[in-house]
Amino acid sequence: MRLPTSSLSILINFLLGASWAFALLGASTLFFLFLNVSIFYALFGSFLGALPGLFFVLLIEYFLMRQEKLTELKKHTKLLEELVSQGRS
């Protein structure tokens, strides 16, 4: 996705990578923490450990989707204004 500024694009990509790392770190930490108790608890703990990171991934992806939708709507509006102005001439 092309964002308006390169610094914003770098920031969003960094935050997206950090969110994925947070999800992986949380899942693996809780998995190995509960592995000596039971494999069921280890899998459930890894799922719970990954949830905060995955929430941030979804949040950032939602932001990118809305930004892309706004950009497309601006393009469509510009094209419709050009069509209307050509129709009046």
Q: Residue 44 is which amino acid?
A: F
Range of the domain at 42: 6-88
Whole-structure pTM value: 0.80
pLDDT given at position 1:
56
Q: Which residues of the chain have pLDDT under 70?
A: 1-4, 89
**Which H or E run contains 87?**
helix 39-88
Does residue 40 lie within any of the structural domains? Answer: yes
Domain membership flag for residue 1: no
Residue 16 domain flag: yes
pLDDT at 5: 75
CA atoms of 77 and 85, how far apart (whole Å):
12
Whether residue 46 is contained in a domain is answered as: yes
Q: How many domains does the chain have?
A: 1
